Structure 1
Amino acid sequence: MAILTAPGLATGLAHAAPVAPAAPAAPAAPLPEPGAKSLEQVRKEIEELYRQAGTATDAYNLAEAETKAQSDKIVEIANLIVAGKEKIATLKNRAGAAARAQYRSGGLPPGARLALSDDPNEFLDGAGRLRQGEKATSGLISELDRTQQDLVDYAQEANERWATLEANRVKQEGARKQIEEKIKAAEGLESKLEAEEKAKLIQLEHEAQYKAQTAWLSTGAMKDVKGSATDAGKRAVQFATAQIGKPYRWGATGPGSFDCSGLTSQAWLAAGRGIPRTSQEQLRLLPKVALKDMRPGDLIIYFDDATHVGMYVGDGAMVHAPRPGRDVTMAGAGSMPIKAVVRPDA
């Protein structure tokens, strides 16, 4: 069932009016038994479970990104430690060479060598070189001390990074268990439905989206939206819409499946712009724009906790990866509560 007409990317952003949902083909379901949940109640319960799974998915994705960042930093520190040890070995060799050279010169103090020298000029020249050597030796020792302190600092930072890495892994595992628990509960509810009820459930979802989109449009939200996509925005939209029909899978960034922020981050990566991995980080780090200034390619962040994101494609529509059990699809931009609009190519 189409919620909106397909957007024309080459034109402006004049929104299309939503299309009313088709009338149910099947006869009305029998009256529920006293105390039994209505199909609409079941739909809302399933939707809430998937919303909670979406929240956990954002936490999982953030922990995964932070874990990778910490792992990369630990590798970097390890390389610095190796380089530091090699530098210390080089400095020690230089210090040893200086000590051996001094030993070969007899190690006599300057006063004694002046007394033994027949040529005061020769002594003064040697004394100058000696002072230069002492200065170089002092610099060598200072550099050795600094490098050794660097190694101590690197080791401390590595320990702190390991602690953060392990904490992120614990968070990631906790989020994974919560995701699986919520999805299993939602799938359990759906599995109890008959085929006819499952078809009706999908229709109820569409009707709820249609109702929300209609209410949103009736506020005049799209009245002043006339922005045109940039070249990068067009590429991002083309990538996102090309994924329509691919399944949602939490934690996925393609190419065969996506979660909501996996779709938007990969679309913008394909357009030549790396953006944060999660919807919450996209909200936090990308520039916000007013709804009236929205243009194709902008990201619409949904819900108060910013745990869902879609890409605006024009004509009052967006493309998104909805939830487990559903495919990447087009929907009304106002079919869910909008928290903010952000722009990757500001």
Structure 2
Amino acid sequence: MRRPLRTHGYRAAAAVALACALTAASQQGAQADLQTLTEVQAKLQSLYHDAEVATDKYNAADGKVTAQSKRVSALNAQIRTTEVKLTRLTTLAGAAARAQYRGGGVPAELQFALASDPGQALDNAGLALQAQQNTQNLLTNLTATKSALRTRTDDAAAELKRLRTSRRAMAAQRRTIEQHIAEAKLLESSLAAKERQRLADLEKKESDQAQAKWESTGILKKVGTDATTAGQKAIAFATKQIGKPYVWGAEGPDSYDCSGLTSQAWLAAGVTIPRTSEMQWAQLKHVPVEDMRPGDLIIYFSDASHVAIYVGGGNIISAPRPGRYVYESPAASMQILGVVRPDA
């Protein structure tokens, strides 16, 4: 049977009511009056999950803008290099034409007739004609290259503009993230110390039960126990971050969000992986849970909104959510979607 949520005094009750009202304002269909600890827990989990999803989307949008900006810069650099070559070649071609003019402008036929060595004159004329033709061909090719580069750059710039617009939309969601986090913190802080402890105990109990159920399948007898050299380095990095705070969008060195921690851990091992948990799930090699080994990444929830690094012994290291710190915890304390391997 669910026990009713008890608070101490009128001010604590008012704080809970305010937290519930704010939650209802931003979450359609949310109940305005949370009456039990399990409902409080469910609401907190929903708020933090929504915040993590929005965080992942913003990180992905920001990453695309950064990559596209580099692409546009690279294309502009290619255009500048081509323009320098065109200018230099055009100058050389003009100088050659002026030199020929200063040479008297005598037709090649007459030069051939008057030359003491007609064969040499013919060779010289042929070489000059070939050089002129080569120069003209190069000028034509460079002009076409510049035009093609300009088209590609214009297209890339248009895509960059679209991505920046998308990132602005994600920035608006960023404000929603902050609102969700503030609501969750207000809801937690509204609980009396005794109720917060009961809530923590409830979370731990559910986590332990989920882990026990998972381990009862014999999974730990199947999974690998030895990490690769790169996996060991990734785990060592993650371990050193224990105790650092969760901050959405952060990727170190002083704070992390979930995918910021895993991406930086593997970067420390010399392996570059996607920035967000959703992209890590989409792009890295999938391995069956029973075949995972330390260093692999466990992806959580059906929308791949959370990720942690498996460190062996049935445990993970992760940056869990706002208000918490990087820590080691049971691998099955959350809904496992699957496992990916960065060093496949």
TM-score normalised by the shorter chain: which range applies?
0.7 to 0.9
Query: Within the alignment, does 1:73 sit opposite 2:71 as a pair?
Result: yes
Corresponding position: 1:263 with 2:261: yes
Look up the equivalent residue of 1:323 and give its one-letter code: R
User: Mean alpha-carbon deviation: is it higher for 334-343 or for 151-160?
Assistant: 151-160
- The answer for the alignment partner of 2:313 in structure 1 is 315
Distance 2:333 2:87 in 1: 65
CA distance in 1, matches of 2:159, 2:55: 24
Question: How many angstroms apart in 1 are the aligned matches of 2:137 and 2:66?
Answer: 39
Give the residue type in structure 2 aligned to 1:295.
R
2:68 alignment partner, SS class: helix
TM-score (norm 1): 0.84
| Higher relative contact order, chain-length normalized (CA < 8 Å, sep 6+) | 1
- Counterpart CA distance in 2 for 1:140 and 1:329 is 62
Summarize the alignment of residues 124-139 of structure 1 with structure 2, pairs less than 5 Å apart. Answer: 124-139=122-137
SS of 1:340 mapped into structure 2:
strand
- Aligned ranges 1:88-167 → 2 under 5 Å: 88-114=86-112, 120-121=118-119, 123-167=121-165
Could you tell which deviates more after superposition, 266-275 or 128-137?
128-137
User: 1: CA distance between counterparts of 2:75 and 2:276?
Assistant: 27
Query: In structure 2, what residue type is equivalent to 1:288?
Result: H
What secondary structure is seen at the aligned counterpart in 2 of 1:257? coil
One-letter identity of the residue aligned with 2:178: E
The number of residues matched between the two structures is 319
Alignment of 1:1-346 (within 5 A): 30=6, 37-114=35-112, 120-121=118-119, 123-346=121-344
TM-score by length of 2: 0.84
Structure 1 residue 248, shift from structure 2 partner: 0.8
Measure, in 2, the Cα distance between the counterparts of 1:101 and 1:279.
66
Cα RMSD of the aligned pairs, angstroms, is 2.5
Alignment deviations for residues 203-232 of structure 1 (CA, whole Å, 9 cap, x no partner): 222122112212222333333224411222
Residue 280 of structure 2 aligns with an amino acid whose one-letter code is Q
* CA distance, structure 1, for counterparts of residue 332 and residue 320 of structure 2: 14
Structure 2: runs of 5+ lacking an equivalent: 14-32
Q: What amino acid sits opposite 1:73 in the alignment?
A: R
Aligned 8 A contact 1:64 1:168 in 2: no
Q: Aligned with 1:248: secondary structure?
A: coil
Q: Deviations over 1:276-309 (max 9, x none)?
A: 1111111112111111211111100000100101
Q: Structure 1: which 5+ runs fail to align?
A: 1-27
Output the CA distance in 2 between the equivalents of 1:282 and 1:204: 31
- 1:30 shift after superposition: 4.9
SS of structure 2 residue aligned to 1:306: coil
User: Does the aligned pair in 2 maintain the 1:288–1:341 contact within 8 Å?
Assistant: yes
**2:220 partner SS:** coil
Contact 2:5 2:37 in 1 (8 A): no
Distance 1:229 1:127 in 2: 72
| Aligned-partner Cα distance in 2 for 1:157–1:102 | 43
Residues 301 and 339 of structure 1 are in contact (CA less than 8 Å); yes or no, is this contact kept in structure 2?
yes
Partner amino acid for 2:293? R
Q: Which range is displaced more, 117-126 or 97-106?
A: 117-126
Change (3 A) 1:239 1:142: same
How far off is 1:175 after superposition? 3.0
